[in-house]
């Protein structure tokens, strides 16, 4: 439970500092104030699943955490190739979100009742108006947006921290085959993976927490040396390759 306690303490300390500093109501402050508790919830849920040997469900949450961390990095990356301020990047993310919502809502229309269709059309109209009001290009699909970060993110971190957990989100025949075991003349159909090291998955969870919280602390110019030192110490102690 050492990793669980450390991750929880990191979040609680960061939230306490955010509340104590009374940051202004700017888009970047709202972003940080939203990402931190959401990430805390996902981290706690992931660790809870892992403590109960639920591998695939925990991997699904880890992929969500990775996407949140990458998007957060993308928003606050100051040396981005377009030389855009964080608030502009947030608006681009909002625009992409609205565009995806419109696509989804239009898929609901054929099966909606008359009243439901009218509500959906009003929602689409509202979103399309909001989209037109944002003068910047959208952030684009998640994977493509990584082109606006240093190559390390797309070439090394994405496959390890995101792509590594795809099969938990999109079960396929390869996963089903991995869950089928042969014992003599008996075939066993398992509901979860059993060869994945739980401690390694906890390290991935801790890495997501560290990434998000270190970005917050660096953004606000808070000291994060203690956080980094503790993270590296625990990683050296427990980390294993999956």
Q: What is the pLDDT of residues 186-233, one digit of tens each?
A: 888 889 998 888 999 999 999 999 999 999 999 999 988 999 999 999
pLDDT of residue 240: 54
pLDDT of residue 94: 97
Can you spell out the DSSP letters for 194-241?
Answer: SSS-HHHHHHHHHHHHHHHHHHHHHHTT---HHHHHHHHHHHHHH---
- List C-alpha distances in Å: 81 to 74, 77, 129, 149, 150: 11, 10, 28, 8, 9
Question: Between 26 and 47, where is the model more confident?
Answer: 47
- List C-alpha distances in Å: 61 to 30, 35, 95, 129, 227: 23, 15, 25, 33, 23
Query: Distance between CA 188 and CA 116 in Å, rounded?
Result: 46
Instruction: Please write the tens of the pLDDT for every residue from 109-136.
Output: 999 999 999 999 999 999 999 999 999 9
Mean pLDDT computed over every residue of the chain: 92
Instruction: Please write the tens of the pLDDT for every residue from 57-92.
Output: 999 999 999 999 999 999 999 998 889 999 999 999
- Percent of the chain predicted with pLDDT > 90: 76
- Cβ pair 203, 3 in contact under 8 A: yes
């Amino acid at each position: 439970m050492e990793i669980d306690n450390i991750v929880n303490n990191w979040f609680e300390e960061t939230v306490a500092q955010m509340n104590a500093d009374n940051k202004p109501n700017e888009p970047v402050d709202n972003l940080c104030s939203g990402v931190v508790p959401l990430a805390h919830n996902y981290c706690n849920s992931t660790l809870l699943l892992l403590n109960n040997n639920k591998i695939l469900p925990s991997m699904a949450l880890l992929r969500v955490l990775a996407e949140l961390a990458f998007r957060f990095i993308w928003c606050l990356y100051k040396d981005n190739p377009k030389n855009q301020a964080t608030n502009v990047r947030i608006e681009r993310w909002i625009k992409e979100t609205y565009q995806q919502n419109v696509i989804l809502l239009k898929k609901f229309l054929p099966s909606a009742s008359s009243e439901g269709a009218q509500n959906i059309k009003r929602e689409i109209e509202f979103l399309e108006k909001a989209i037109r009001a944002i003068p910047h290009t959208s952030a684009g699909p998640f994977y493509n947006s990584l082109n606006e970060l240093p190559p390390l993110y797309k070439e090394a971190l994405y496959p390890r921290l995101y792509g590594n957990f795809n099969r938990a989100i999109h079960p396929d025949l390869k996963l089903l085959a991995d869950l089928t075991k042969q014992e003599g003349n008996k075939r066993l159909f398992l509901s979860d993976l059993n060869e994945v090291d739980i401690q390694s998955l906890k390290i991935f969870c801790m890495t997501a927490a560290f990434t998000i919280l270190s970005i917050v602390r660096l953004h606000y110019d808070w000291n994060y040396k203690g956080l980094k030192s503790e993270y590296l110490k625990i990683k050296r102690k427990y980390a294993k390759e999956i």
